[in-house]
Structure 1
């Protein structure tokens, strides 16, 4: 007997449904802000064509859904590479290239995905189940894939017909639909894959409202309207240029001047002023993601490889890592740096989620005296010196400097190492760092916010963390379909993470994107992706 996956796995609204049992040590700092996801074009009068420019706060990595780990790549890919499923503004999982939500067998080992007919890739290749199988197989088996763990314990993938793909699992895997609503669900042209191979990201070809044109490294990425797109009648812009603009002040200035029409990651320093500008619209929402500090415990030979000992107190002794956590005044740092737009946090579980429990979001109290006691017990010389790699953006550097001052009271001497974002991603994968301030944009199912980073040998386990206890709990959570049981298991995982501290959760952002009121149809949801595929310039009525 087959049942709808949305009912069996309960994934439709798992990450955004309010949970009355959630309790926070800190008050909700973002409750005074009103969500604005943007609005579809609808019946508004818009003109056909136009060249839209978006100021992008960091350069994406290679435009390859299989190997990419950059959040910013998702912006570009959302325009050129659709997925089997997507999130809507309410946090529901909805079909995109799939024809319907999956069905799953009673034992949870067989997942069947119906795919749409009559669709073509940007190169004219037919989209069908075989193409889906090819992409999923690449995600699963490519050596440099960042998607392998996201797909779960798949035994085999088959195209049982032109319109149906079947995933056979070794063990049930509840988060699969949510995983297929991100890069794991992006489907690439099999003809382009055969031609480009590992270089696919240099000339990506998928199904999307736009198709890739060119990339000038560290400068821009250009896409243009794809006439073969199945919903081309609702695509209005002729081109989109993603212009790399790392400096938040420059993005804000170019937005005001009209040189760009959209800008991501508006700084909290600029948000209040931009919100009052009648020529601009500020989109905002609470993020599914989090920001924190990776601590390298054993990532010596690269992510996913067997861990090796690192001969530093920070890597070897959990007391030193606990001391660092206690020396971070999360509440004060958010107030100081982010003007009440962001909120302190200590968990990958969203407080409003159905997976939140009374203790899962509790934060350790700022206690520099206890931090020094732990460092003394660990036998380290004070102050304890460590290097923290930080992205070269004003907000991240401001936060790192505030954290540096806070941690000094707890006995730490933090040396800040400003680094370009793309370089950080490479260092993260290689394990070429001691500590790194970097976050995750978040996914609708908690498995993708925890298991990817905490499971032994996972392709996203950048800390080189290995805990049999966490592995077992995460495995149980992925196999069960009961939300309450999953919530309890994730609470136990968070407790183990707080004990071992391979990653120090610090704050949760409020996603801020601004656009000119000359354009409409720009949308941004809690997954953080700014959607421009159906955006348009309004008709000039002057």
Structure 2
């Protein structure tokens, strides 16, 4: 049987086909849209920004905006190299691996005119450790912060940490003005931001943020006169705005796949300009392993062999989302190997039969998708149809859509047998993917009782993986790469996580702009958005 075509297309597939056709037709007239003359740049995306506090921000849009308002100590450039930003040089790690010394850049100002120094950096890190929504990324590694002089900070570690350099690139650790946040050391300041970045915040609402260039910025002026960052409620409204020239740059966040494909095709025709960043976002399915039926390892392994990623990628995204058999993006892997099983319906059927299913004994699995993420529903529909085609006498997927905020709140409660989720590491290191998805503090018979695996909804754990995760923080070079690879192999055999695809961030600009650029962490460089100079 042809693995790439359904005998019966799922309903969502036809909706996607219609969407692509209408989008291409609408954009066929894009060159007729008005061109804005303003030197300010309007950047649009789907979704609201509720908080600009780096201690609270945990959504891609907020992190994107913070990267323009603040500076990290280091960043990964577009060649994957660690580049000092507010640090003046590379970090120095002591021989015992327990002290990280970071020289800081001098003559840097916060947006309120106060000076950046080691005390300000220490204030910001301590605040994040105390109240940060994502403070688990530090994972108890930092035990003390010393400021021996105004432009040197020493971070004392509880244990050796090979991933500490990656952690220092996190935008959540961007320094904030101690003066401005004096009364917010133990609470969030959502609608303001006082940092050191190339822009300062002029006004804020969840739907619109106005950024103006910071005249006191230490690293030169932006290539534009400012950014208006606008949130839209739907993918189609973003298309209309792009078509009529109401916006200059469109981000791919939560954009429907039909629209992404239409934009991609139009960029090939020269009607818009497309920029593509490194693929850092993974999509996967989490299986709850602490209760029937998915507490049976055989069933989880059978499901791992039951998914045709190539088919799903082509049907849902027409290949724009790359099939993935790993939970670490390939760009972060030295050993670029896929650990999860490839689609094998014969082997899957044998495992279902071994578990006591097939031949009229149907296994029913509820599959939850995030109802506000368009690709999730199409993924679920496509896999459901493929399962029906290949294993109709063995298994049936029953679909259920739930808004993503509710999904994440209920994961640790064990509300979902199988749920489609997405993940982007907080910093570009394999540890930022493996630890949040696999870490567990308390294990009983392969069940996680306390730890990240509970918050992630799998409740699956392995003592061998925990030991290996700790070892990766001591090892370096090829030995660390080998241990990271071993962890993925162990996780694939456990079958509680099923990677599906990899997503590259994209940005589309009007034709009077230069190509949008991304940094090595997949964030659009807003300060480099620039109109093409006319001759």
Residue of structure 1 in register with 2:249 after alignment: 262
Q: How far apart, in 2, do the equivalents of 1:421 and 1:63 lie? A: 20
Residue of structure 2 in register with 1:240 after alignment: 227
Shift of 1:52: 1.7
The match for 2:183 among 189, 195, 207 is 195
SS of 2:217's equivalent in the other structure is: coil
Shift of 1:349: 3.4
Shift of 1:405: 1.8
Q: How does 1:94-493 map to 2 (within 5 A)?
A: 94-142=83-131, 144-150=132-138, 153-196=141-184, 197-217=186-206, 219-231=207-219, 233-245=220-232, 247-265=234-252, 267=257, 268-297=260-289, 311-314=291-294, 316-351=295-330, 353=332, 355-356=334-335, 358=337, 360=339, 363=342, 365-367=344-346, 368-370=348-350, 372-373=352-353, 375-376=355-356, 382-408=362-388, 409-410=390-391, 411-428=394-411, 433-442=416-425, 443-457=427-441, 461-463=455-457, 464-481=459-476, 483-493=477-487
Question: Mean Cα displacement is larger for which, 254-263 or 346-355?
Answer: 346-355
Shift of 1:185: 3.2
Residue of structure 1 in register with 2:25 after alignment: none
Question: Residues 380 and 425 (structure 1 numbering): CA distance in 2 closer, same or farther, change over 3 Å?
Answer: farther
Is the contact made by 1:141 and 1:148 (CA closer than 8 Å) also made in structure 2? no
Shift of 1:296: 4.0
The match for 1:535 among 505, 525, 529 is 529
Q: Mind listing any 5+ residue stretches in structure 1 that lack a counterpart?
A: 1-46, 298-309
Q: How far apart, in 1, do the equivalents of 2:529 and 2:96 lie? A: 43
Q: How far apart, in 1, do the equivalents of 2:123 and 2:280 lie? A: 30
Shift of 1:152: 5.6
Q: How far apart, in 1, do the equivalents of 2:50 and 2:60 lie? A: 9
Question: Mean Cα displacement is larger for which, 132-141 or 111-120?
Answer: 132-141
The count of residues paired between Structure 1 and Structure 2 equals 479
Deviation beyond 6 Å, 4+ runs, structure 1? 377-381
Q: How far apart, in 1, do the equivalents of 2:164 and 2:530 lie? A: 33
Shift of 1:322: 2.2
SS of 1:251's equivalent in the other structure is: helix
Shift of 1:49: 7.1
Shift of 1:466: 3.0
SS of 2:189's equivalent in the other structure is: helix
SS of 2:79's equivalent in the other structure is: coil
**Alpha-carbon RMSD:** 3.1
Is the contact made by 1:349 and 1:356 (CA closer than 8 Å) also made in structure 2? no
Is the contact made by 1:153 and 1:170 (CA closer than 8 Å) also made in structure 2? yes
SS of 1:536's equivalent in the other structure is: coil
Is the contact made by 1:213 and 1:222 (CA closer than 8 Å) also made in structure 2? yes
SS of 2:370's equivalent in the other structure is: strand
Is the contact made by 1:130 and 1:162 (CA closer than 8 Å) also made in structure 2? yes
Q: Mind listing any 5+ residue stretches in structure 2 that lack a counterpart?
A: 1-35, 442-450
Residue of structure 2 in register with 1:76 after alignment: 65
| TM-score, normalization by structure 1 | 0.80
Q: How far apart, in 1, do the equivalents of 2:66 and 2:414 lie? A: 27
Question: Residues 418 and 62 (structure 1 numbering): CA distance in 2 closer, same or farther, change over 3 Å?
Answer: farther
Question: Mean Cα displacement is larger for which, 520-529 or 166-175?
Answer: 520-529
Structure 1, residues 198-239: CA drift from partner, whole Å, max 9, x if none?
22233222111112244433x3333332233223x4224343
SS of 1:66's equivalent in the other structure is: coil
Higher relative contact order (CA 8 A, sep 6+): 1
Is the contact made by 2:329 and 2:502 (CA closer than 8 Å) also made in structure 1? no
Q: How far apart, in 2, do the equivalents of 1:393 and 1:494 lie? A: 27
Q: How far apart, in 1, do the equivalents of 2:147 and 2:126 lie? A: 11
Residue of structure 2 in register with 1:14 after alignment: none
Q: How far apart, in 2, do the equivalents of 1:428 and 1:60 lie? A: 23
Shift of 1:122: 1.5
**Larger C-alpha radius of gyration, 1 or 2?**
2
